[in-house]
Chain A
């Protein structure tokens, strides 16, 4: 084997993937990027040329930049909620020895991943509708007098999006917690720390890589999610994904939808890179 062939060992195996992703992922994204700079005629049809007017609209019209801001805040909120909810579940799952109960719990955790996002969301629509379970419980317990409008409300959107993305936080956290060395807990308790202190000073810091991975995945997915908020919150919910969908399906303004998409992509990539980088620096400072 010559030096040159060794240098390319295994490259042939990735060739189909590179061709496939170039044709169906990179080329469409580049076309979309070019479209976002194309001028349009009176019917929103793209014309050749170059303009920044779509990005100008995205950055100056509250309808668009407000949606971007709202999406960013919602994604952060959902990521925080997912990590908080994932922690007890992952802790319980990681502490179980392999067996039937662990398998059942695991199936529950990934059950949302195995069911279409539409099915999961539909479940929430049924739960939150005018004569749904949540309203009946609220009215029955005397908390409210008549059924509340839960669908198309912001809390409903946050709850359903959190539900859809929660498994993506539980899985990396379970891996991180499952890999912890139990001797550290024993050492901490032998040295006189109580269970709470051991949890806060040993378990939580050691599980932080899992927390960060989970939070970043949930955040990135929450930035682009649109089916769930569309079904639960309605088309007026000011989220960037829904605005893009609306521009494409009812206004037929592709260039501005493309510009809004790329603004969303840049914000998502910048945030995840900055947060991931900040965590790595902080981790290095902590452990040398």
Chain B
């Protein structure tokens, strides 16, 4: 028995070590950026020769980066309400409703996730050319909303699937109108899914580049797009700074939201 236990512990240790390796692999490229962002020189050599906030100052005083930060922030403010309203209504209808074609619409709602991103990007590029939305903020707003919508639908569907119909029925029998029932009973019950969906939409919009790279232009360079073009031409610690700021923004949004909803269950 003792031998089996030792053997068991060995296997466990091996598995744990493998898992640690995987976690390290996941973290390594992100950690390297955070550390490089404090480099005092123009070199991206790792590890940096010292620590300074020089590049933070440089990024925060650069008009180009500030314009991009404003644009990215503005897009989040547009994309989150759009996708949350459309996605919440749809998730509720898909889980609680009963109508012909329900399964088909559910497949449609999640299909942007399964279609290769380059196709969505090319489709929007050609379409936006026709309607004059290339290199415009409304164009990016619609494109980001399209990419983020399936995440919101899926997150709210998790909450809506476990919805207890009793409170809604009670409110209806007490004379509340359908709208009032939805706003005052249903929505609060769906709150965890809605918050998770809103976070995913915000994070998706903040990081979106596959579709934006084709439909944006010189006047609509979001933060990730500016990193995208900068990485292709030069490497200096300012991009590490921006990456670190972008990551921090996402983590803050996530941690704050996690206090209200279990994001982990909505993925």
| Chain A interface (Cβ < 8 Å from any Cβ of B) | 6-14, 16-18, 20-21, 24-29, 31-32, 35, 85-86, 88-89, 91-93, 105-127, 129, 131-133, 136, 163, 166-167, 171, 194-196, 199, 220-221, 223-227, 231, 240-241, 244-245, 248-249, 254, 257-258, 261-262, 264-265, 268, 272
Contacts and interface: CB of A to CB of B under 8 A. Distances in A.
Interface size band for B: 35 or more
A10 B94 CA distance: 7
A61 to B, nearest CB: 18
Interface string B97-137: 11110000100110110111111101111110010000000
Given A10-B98, A88-B22, A268-B115, 13 more contacts: A20-B146, A27-B127, A86-B22, A114-B254, A115-B243, A115-B246, A119-B33, A122-B231, A126-B44, A127-B32, A224-B115, A227-B228, A241-B118
A126 B89 contact: no
Contacts of B8: 194-195
Contacts of A27: 127
Contacts of A136: 46
B140 interface: no
A196 B227 contact: no
Nearest to A255: B126
Contacts of A91: 15, 19
A106 B16 contact: no
A119 B203 contact: no
A84 to B, nearest CB: 10
B105 A17 contact: yes
B26 A126 contact: no
A284 B214 CA distance: 44
A9 B23 contact: no
A123 B104 CA distance: 40
Contacts of A112: 26, 30
Contacts of B181: none
A131 B42 CA distance: 13
A15 to B, nearest CB: 8
Given A13-B89, A32-B122, A116-B209, A89 B203 contact: no
A272 B126 CA distance: 27
Interface string B1-40: 0001001100110011011011101111110110010000
Nearest to B210: A227
B59 interface: no
B23 A116 contact: no
A124 to B, nearest CB: 5
B26 A109 contact: yes
A129 B89 contact: no
A261 B123 CA distance: 9
A12 B105 CA distance: 12
A282 B112 CA distance: 28
B251 interface: yes
B149 A17 contact: yes
B198 interface: no
Contacts of A118: 207, 209, 224-225, 227-228, 231
Given A13-B92, A14-B93, A265 B99 contact: no
B27 A111 contact: yes
Nearest to B125: A248
B87 A241 contact: no
Nearest to A199: B11
B142 interface: yes
A35 B116 contact: no
B131 to A, nearest CB: 10
Interface stretch (B63-71, B73-81, B162-170, B232-240): B232-240
